[in-house]
Structure formats: structure tokens, C-alpha cells
A and B are shown apart, each in its own frame.
Chain A
Amino acid sequence: MLELLKNLASWLTSPAQWSGPEGIATRVLEHLEYSVLATLAAAVIALPIGLLIGHTGRGAFLAVNLSSFGRALPTVGLVTLVFLAGGLSVWPVYVSLVALAVPVIITNTYAGMAAVDPEVKDAAKGVGLRGRQILWQVELPLALPLIMTGVRLATVQVVATATIAAYVSFGGLGRYVFDGLAQRDLVQVLGGAALVAVLAVAADLALGGLTRLLFRGRPAAAR
């Protein structure tokens, strides 16, 4: 056990391991590229849907249940399916990561919108705000903390799952996990897994910091 940890430490710290096209630095960048692009794409798809459902109150049942269904989709199965349909490209990776992130963001956005006090909305209507103004100036700011939580959750899940890129021959930190397993190289597997964990935690902290920065002026209860 001690031997293993020692090997792991030297794997993680050796300069040779960090450089080159198969080095840790490159793999981390690849991993971030998949994660960031997939989460952004998911946000672009999911935020409008969540806001619309939350604002109108229509289609919530369908959206929330479809989202639950989406969460139950096995990611590796989806990757294989898209791979077989579309061939060897990076698309299967993005499709499955986006499919993983969209439900989380939709349900959290909807939940944030639904949690806005109806009396506040009534008051906004009372002072003469129109639907669109209520959405942008009242509901969205109040729902933002929960929406951000959704984005944050989705990001962490995507970072942790982006290892599947390696399943269809692409890079990222999953390369170490898959190659290590295939070659019975436990140190490589552990190293890859540790880096994924660190990256996921770092992404979570970064987004948490960003959220706090955004809501600095607000009372603690509304954060």
C-alpha cells in the first residue's frame, strides 16, 4: 500500500509525465476542453427551456419527467449508440456529456423559478411590470442562486464523466484510466482518477467562488 502511494506520488510529480503530447498538462487541457464546451452547450440548451417553463408554469410535469428520464440514460451506452450511428469522431463524447448536463440544469432552473414567492410576482405586476420585465428583473435575479447551483452540479458531473472520451479513442484524463486498466498499470489508473477528482473539486470551488462574487451584495438567506 505504501509502495503504491509512493509510486503514485512519483507518477504525479515526475516532469516527464507532465510534458509532451501524452503528458498530464495536455490531458488536463483536453479534459477541460471537453468539459467546458459540453457544459456551455448544455447551458445554452437548458437555460431557456428552464426559464420558459418556470415563467409560464406550463410543461413543468413533462420537462421534469423527461429530465429524470435523461438522467437515467447510461452515458457509455449513449456514447456507443452515437458512435455506431455517426462513426469515429468527437461527437459521441459531446452528445453524451451534453445529455448528461441538460437535465440537471433544466430541473434546477425550473426549481429556482418555481421558488420565487408568488407575492413578489404579484407585487411586480402591481407596479406595472410586464411579463418579460418580470422574468428578467424579478424572477431571474431571485432564481439565480439555484440556477447557478444547477450549472455547478452539471459542471462537476461533466468533468467527472468526460473520462469517457477515452472510451472512443480520444484524450483527456480518461486516457490514463482506460489505458492503465487495459495495461494492468494500477498507478496510472489511480493517477488519472486522482487528477479527475482534483479537477472536479477545483471546478466546483471555482464556480462556488464565482457565485459568491455575483451575490456579494445580497443578504445571506438569498444566496
Chain B
Amino acid sequence: MNRRTVLTALLAGASAPLLASCSSGITSLKGDGAGGDSGNSSGGLTIGTANFTENQILGYLYAGVLNAAGVKTTVKPNLGSREIVVPALRSGDIDLLPEYQGSLLLYLDKKATETEAGAMQNALATVVPDGLEVLPYAAAEDRDSFAVTQETADRYGLKTLADLRKVNGKLVFGAAAEMKKRVVGVVGLKDQYGVEFKEFKALDSSGPLVKGALKKGDIDVANVFTTDVDIVENGWVLLADPKNLIPAQHIVPLIASRKADSKVRKALARLGNTLTTPQLTELNRLVDKEKRDPDRVADAWLKKHKLG
């Protein structure tokens, strides 16, 4: 109830002038409310999503591909952070969740050390709580990465993180404050690749500060997420990570086992094999930059790839 009030207020406040031209905002609100209870009782499947754009798009992609396979679904978008959605899945309020390998693994097992996608999948299978399981991972991945401008890459011949060693002590690295002490950050870059920066600037993770600073040339290397729209728009180069320093973050469906019949498994596997990182980035762009609705964007993509 509370969430609907907030949604309504948001719709009323933020898009009042747009409302005439943007009727789909209302549609998604209605869909959310009307389908609220029917999910579990009618044997359908309730999909929850976390509180950020990409996760919502993924939720609607799951819904679309499952609907096409004849499974009834309800989407509950924007539920909150992982600390909220995973317990909701365990308690049975929702049945399916788009998740990310590395983050989910560390959430379930703080001491996990796997970084490579296959090993991570095996580790996940052993730590998921009873009654839940992780289905095969998608090609698409939303991972931490280190970006340089095309110009910097050309000037110093940078292709992988190992190449950064050639310019030790010359480049300024901008990232969120935690990167200074993290293995996936200054520490790991030094230990595994022997990279040393001239300076570390504590900014944000793939946010306006770090991206603004990279654009202006105030920093040379920036921490960005692989599905960030600005990477493509600015032609930034993501440095490859041959030693798997950065944990894989392929998208994985986390599902209640009782709902994971063969129809569901097949449909989600087809989606996972088709969706790539650049495509997911483009879907993010359509929602974040062009202000399209996540459900519409997901449906259009599914139709185009003959999945919906």
C-alpha cells in the first residue's frame, strides 16, 4: 500500500505535464495493483525486481518471455535493495528475481573468493538457501570495469589492465571511496597486475562525478559498470581483465524451486542466451535517457528477437 502511494505521488508529481502523452505510466501502475494478489493463488509466477532501472527491465523481460511460453506472471517492480528482495523470495512473496552472480554470491557467502563465471555458478549452487535455485547465467553482464577514453587508450596503447603497468605513476584513477582499499580496486590492481597510479580520487561508482571527471580529463581511469549508457555514448574503452580480478556479474535468475518447471527453465534459458551486454545497455539507455517505460522497452525487444 505504502509503495503504491509513493508511486502514485511520484506519477502525479513528476509527470503531471507529461501525463497526457504518457498513458503507459498509468497502465503499469494498474497492472501492478490489479495483479497483486492473483500471482500465487492462480498458480502463476510473481517476479520481483530491485530498485534500479536495469533490474526492472530484466523483470519485464522475464515476464514477457514466460508469458509467451504460457506461464502467467505478475511483476512487482522496484521493491528495494537485495537486502529486501532476497528475503521476499525466501518467504514466498515473490518467486523469481533477476540477480547478478558476484553480488549475489557475496551476499550469500561473505567469504566467497570465486571470480570466474563458471566457478561462481558452481559456488552459487552450493550456497543458495533451501527451496531456491540459481538457473544458468545469461550472456549479458553488469560488472565493475575500468574505463579510459579512446584518446588515452591510443596514446599509451592500453587494451587490458596489465597494460596500465607501462604507465605506472602517470595516471589518475577515479572511483568510489571503497575502491581504495578493495581487492577489486587499487589493492588488486597492484597485487595482480603491478599497476600503480599517480593518484586516487575518491568520487562515486559509475555516477555523475566519476563519469564527469573522465569526460573532462580530470581523471584518466574510471570505475564504471559495463552496462552504463555513457560508455557507448562517449566511446570509452573498457580495459580487459585477463586474470579475472573482477568478479563476474552475469545475470542469473534466482527462482523458487517449486516454480522452476521445464517450461520456465527453457524460456529463461532462451532469454539468457539471446540477451547480450550491449543490448542490455541499449535497453537501459531507452529507459534512462529517452524516458521510455521499462515494460514497453522489454516487450519491444522480446518481439524483435522473437521471444515475446
Contacts and interface: CB of A to CB of B under 8 A. Distances in A.
Given A83-B212, A88-B213, A179 B177 contact: yes
B180 A169 contact: no
A89 B203 CA distance: 12
Nearest to A181: B177
A87 B177 CA distance: 18
B127 to A, nearest CB: 21
B159 interface: no
Interface in A82-117: 83-84, 87-89
B177 A182 contact: yes
Given A84-B208, A87-B218, A166 B181 contact: no
| Of listed B180, B201, B202, residue having the most chain A CB within 10 A | B202
Classify the interface of chain A: helix, strand, loop or mixed.
Answer: helix
A14 interface: no
Nearest to B202: A169
Contacts, number: 43
Contacts of A89: 218
A121 to B, nearest CB: 48
Contacts of B208: 80, 83-84
B209 A166 contact: no
Interface residues of B, number: 16
Contact of A166 (B180, B202, B213, B218): B202
Interface residues of A, number: 16
A183 B209 contact: no
Given A169-B203, A178-B202, A84 B177 contact: no
Interface in B205-227: 208-209, 212-213, 216, 218-219
A88 B177 CA distance: 15
B213 A87 contact: yes
B178 A88 contact: no
Interface in A149-208: 166-169, 175, 178-179, 181-183
B176 interface: yes
Contact of A88 (B176, B180, B181, B219): B219
Closest A-B pairs by Cβ, 3 of them: A88-B218, A182-B177, A182-B178
Interface of A: 80, 83-84, 87-89, 166-169, 175, 178-179, 181-183
13 contacts: A80-B209, A83-B208, A87-B216, A87-B218, A88-B213, A89-B218, A166-B177, A166-B202, A168-B209, A169-B202, A175-B202, A181-B177, A182-B177
Interface of B: 174, 176-178, 180-181, 201-203, 208-209, 212-213, 216, 218-219
